[in-house]
Amino acid sequence: MNEDVVIIAVSPDGVEQIRITFSKQSFRNLQQVVASILGATLRQDEDDSILLRLPNTYPRKQRNNLAKFLLHPEREGTLNDDEVSSLRDALNYKLTNEPKIVQSILNKQNQYYATLTPTKWEQFLDFLNASWMNKLNWSFL
């Protein structure tokens, strides 16, 4: 029995550089962790519909870019440079300027970290930085 997976490939000009695989549930958990860090409310209902509320402290374009990651249908589409940089910038700002947020998330959202594992989370952050620095696109396969 195969578990549903989300594969994210980062590539310049179609040449694959990095590939990371999450179970479908782990990817949803990752979305929840990112939403918590950003101060967003992300709720998935039983009918699989998703409700997102982002604080209006983010500029509109950045909110739209962040929503593309947080609401992404897991098996298709891409995140382009401006969307990746919005995600990276928002996460880095929150994690750098609000140090208490990391501890509070670990306390309140530890089930997400348990599912993702610290290694997966570090992989994701490395992935995000590599994407941004190399102006790469993410593809959700």
Q: What is the pLDDT of residues 13-31, one digit of tens each?
A: 666 667 788 888 888 888 8
Q: What is the pTM of this model?
A: 0.79
Domain boundaries, given as residue ranges, for the chain = 4-140
Residue 1 has pLDDT above 60, yes or no: no
Are residues 95 and 101 in contact, defined by beta-carbon separation less than 8 angstroms?
yes
* Inter-axis angle of helices 81-97 and 24-38, nearest 10: 60
In angstroms, rounded to a whole number, what is the distance separating the alpha carbons of residues 84 and 105? 22
Nearest to 36 by CA among 99, 89, 104: 104
128 burial (CB, 10 Å; 0-12 / 13-18 / 19+) is buried
Q: What is the pLDDT of residues 70-83, one digit of tens each?
A: 887 665 677 878 88
Are residues 75 and 22 in contact, defined by beta-carbon separation less than 8 angstroms?
no
